[in-house]
Amino acid sequence: MELASIDRSLVSAVDPRSPAAEAYSALRTSVQFAALDRPLRSLLVTSAAQDDDKSAVAANLAISFAMGGSRVVLVDADLRHPRQHALFGLDGSRGLTSALLGDGHGEVPLLETNVTNLRLLPTGPQPANPVDVLGSQRFADLLGHLQASADIVILDAPPALAVADAALIARRVDGVLLAYRASRTKRDHAAKAQALLAKVGANLLGAVLTNAKLDAGLRRYFG
């Protein structure tokens, strides 16, 4: 598997034996356990603020699921600040908005990544009003189509407190994860993001803390 074009922050692919990659494997297991009583075919990853690493969390979790044998579609639904195509070293000129707004090609422009079992749907051209796009019935229908072709669909959305996009998507997916960055995410912002998602009826599975210091004992274990 050629990984030269993948960003180094995608540790689940570039350094699968690292403590960070192991943490994403543990997160994948936790998500799977959360789905024992309720099928989980779609998962939204968002954050409270812009710099909470939510895009890297979504991508690493998608990679972990794919490496575990699941057929995964990763959707970059951050129509304002897309990152997934850059993380995977792919062309993001066509994608989600191309499929929803119609660019004459007809098909959903899913891209094969360098990770087996993982396909990416970039954002495509930036729309004038992302809220109208993500709140449309066309988006709901597309999400259903993607779920039918994969074991799990993981969506990367804008920060919950910044714009309404994440709240709109949260109502359409089976589960939501919030990404927080250690020593950066403000406590009151985290609480407000949780409250906002609860208000729209989101199935909040839990939170992911990024950039946390590794315990010295675990560091010795992983070498």
CA 70 to chain centroid, in Å, comes to 15
pLDDT for position 52: 73
Is residue 54, in this structure, part of any structural domain at all? yes
Residue 83's Cα: distance from chain center in Å?
Answer: 11
Please report whether residue 190 resides in a domain: yes
Q: What distance in Å separates the CA atoms of residue 9 and residue 20, rounded to the nearest whole number? A: 10
* Residue 67 located in a structural domain: yes
| Crossing angle of helices 54-67 and 19-34, rounded to 10° | 80
- The Cα–Cα gap between 127 and 163 comes to 15
The CATH code of the domain that includes 174 is 3.40.50.300
Q: Where are the alpha helices (DSSP H) in 93-201?
A: 96-101, 130-134, 137-148, 165-170, 187-199
| DSSP output for 29-93 | HHHHHHTSSS---EEEEEESSTTS-HHHHHHHHHHHHHHTT--EEEEE--SSS--HHHHTT---S
The whole-model pTM stands at 0.92
With respect to residue 134, please indicate whether it lies within any of the assigned structural domains.
yes
Residue 1 domain flag: no
pLDDT tens readout for residues 102-135: 765 668 999 999 999 999 999 999 999 999 999 9
Q: So what's the pLDDT on residue 3?
A: 61
Q: Each residue of 13-49: pLDDT tens digit?
A: 999 999 999 999 999 999 998 877 778 999 999 999 8
Indicate the average pLDDT of the chain: 89
Q: Check if the beta carbon of residue 100 is closer than 8 Å to that of residue 139.
A: yes
Residues with Cβ within 8 Å of 104's Cβ and at least 6 positions away in sequence, in order, are none
What's the confidence (pLDDT) of residue 120? 98
What is the sign, positive or negative, of the torsion defined by CA atoms of 129, 40, 160, 68?
A: negative
Asked whether residue 16 is assigned to any structural domain, the reply reads: yes
What domain count does the chain have? 1
In a domain, 120, yes or no: yes
**Mean pLDDT for the stretch of residues 180-203:** 90
Look at residue 2 and tell me if it is in a domain. Answer: no
Confidence of residue 182 (pLDDT cuts 50, 70, 90): confident
Residue span of the structural domain in which 22 resides: 11-222
